[in-house]
């Protein structure tokens, strides 16, 4: 386990990927309080919201207000999902630090989700990326369904990496390879990284797991063993109704941090304020039990 990184960076995606998939809509004020809490935990990256049409994502319709009301802490990147140049204009108004673009490795999923081909999505991504870069913003990209598609099943990893290379050549600085429906196991992650890290340096790779089948942290462990040092996660394990197909929550930030701390891997994130922000969001979603193990275990003492 000699290649395990000494320092890991977390992209907190709860306010966007988490809330987007919850049936309950959090108030703007609650979002602002919560994100302000997150800014004080030592997290250096928060995906705050999305400028996708509010018609499609009602829980994030207040993206602009949220960005205007949150307190910016130095050293924290406040990012937003942007679907197209129109959304990018909103993101400029919101003074985001980083733009996040997205498409799918699966043609069927891309059509269902974005109503166009991967090729058209790549053209759109190029336009958004160029415009964002010209305004001095950095650009991150999601590739979804990397480890499996609800419509097509397995997607060849070289297809994903072909998309990744076009995005990186277009100026994207980091790609989140996403297990959107949470089907992967350590073996798939290992096979993917065998290919991916030959083509892309690990500093441009983030792994984005959903914990649909409980393999999320085992997959992270495999990533760590390959030297990957960036992971996406969400406070509380937010996201996805347990009864919506393919929509279970992200891996849980506080459980991930617990594991990393236990492995003596530095994150510079303080566990106590992180748990406070998790309890805040738990109380807001009291009607269902969030997947977070840390929230359910009464004793949060680190071993």
Q: Is 12 in the site for a second copy (CB under 8 A)?
A: no
Determine whether 273 is exposed, middle or buried from the number of CB atoms within 10 Å of its CB (0-12, 13-18, 19+): middle
Q: Is 22 in the site for a second copy (CB under 8 A)?
A: no
Q: Is 75 in the site for a second copy (CB under 8 A)?
A: no
Distance CA(222)–CA(215), nearest Å, equals 11
* Backbone φ, ψ for residue 197 (5° rounding): -80, -10
- Rounded to a whole number of angstroms, the minimum distance from the CB of residue 294 to a second copy is 6
- Rounded to a whole number of angstroms, the minimum distance from the CB of residue 255 to a second copy is 4
Q: Are 117 and 111 in contact (CB under 8 A)?
A: yes
Cα–Cα nearest to 26, from 66, 77, 55, 79: 66
Q: Is 156 in the site for a second copy (CB under 8 A)?
A: no
Q: Is 108 in the site for a second copy (CB under 8 A)?
A: no
Cα–Cα nearest to 164, from 175, 178, 179: 175
Catalytic site includes residue 149: no
How many residues bind a second copy, per CB under 8 A? 49
- Rounded to a whole number of angstroms, the minimum distance from the CB of residue 297 to a second copy is 5
Residues numbered 188 to 247 that lie near a second copy (CB under 8 A) are 188, 190, 211-215, 217-218, 220-222, 242-246
Distance CA(93)–CA(100), nearest Å, equals 15
Out of 52, 175, 196, 294, name the contact with a second copy by CB under 8 A: 294
- Rounded to a whole number of angstroms, the minimum distance from the CB of residue 95 to a second copy is 35
Q: Which is nearer to a second copy, 286 or 299 (CB)?
A: 299
Span near a second copy by CB under 8 A; candidates 19-27, 89-97, 106-114, 251-259 = 251-259
> Which residues would be at the binding site for a second copy (CB under 8 A)?
1, 147-148, 150, 153-154, 181-188, 190, 211-215, 217-218, 220-222, 242-246, 248, 252, 255, 258-259, 261-264, 289, 292-294, 296-299, 302-303
Residues annotated as part of the active site: 241
């Amino acid at each position: 386990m000699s290649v395990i990184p000494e320092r890991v960076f977390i992209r907190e995606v709860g306010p966007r990927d988490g809330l987007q998939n919850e049936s309950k809509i959090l108030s703007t004020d609650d979002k602002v309080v919560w994100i302000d809490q997150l800014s004080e935990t030592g997290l250096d990256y928060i995906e705050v919201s999305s400028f996708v049409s509010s018609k499609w994502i009602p829980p994030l319709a207040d993206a602009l207000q949220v960005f205007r009301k949150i307190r910016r802490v130095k050293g924290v990147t406040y990012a937003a999902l942007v679907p197209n140049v129109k959304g990018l204009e909103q993101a400029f108004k919101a003074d985001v630090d980083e733009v996040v673009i997205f498409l799918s490795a699966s043609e069927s999923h891309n059509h269902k989700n974005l109503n166009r081909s991967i090729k058209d999505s790549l053209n759109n991504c190029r336009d958004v990326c160029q415009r964002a870069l010209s305004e001095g913003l950095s650009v991150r990209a999601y590739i979804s369904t990397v480890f499996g598609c609800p419509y097509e099943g397995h997607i060849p990893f070289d297809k994903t990496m072909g998309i990744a290379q076009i995005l990186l050549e277009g100026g994207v600085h980091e790609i989140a390879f996403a297990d959107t429906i949470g089907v992967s196991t350590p073996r798939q992650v290992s096979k993917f990284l065998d290919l991916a890290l030959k083509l892309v340096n690990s500093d441009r790779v983030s792994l984005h797991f959903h914990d649909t089948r409980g393999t999320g942290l085992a997959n992270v462990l495999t990533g760590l063993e390959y030297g990957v040092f960036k992971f996406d996660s969400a406070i509380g394990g937010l996201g996805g109704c347990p009864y919506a197909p393919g929509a279970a929550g992200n891996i849980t930030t506080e459980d991930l941090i617990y594991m990393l701390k236990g492995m003596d891997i530095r994150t510079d994130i303080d566990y106590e304020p992180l748990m406070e922000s998790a309890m805040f969001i738990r109380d807001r979603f009291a009607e269902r039990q969030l997947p977070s193990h840390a929230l359910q275990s009464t004793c949060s003492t680190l071993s």
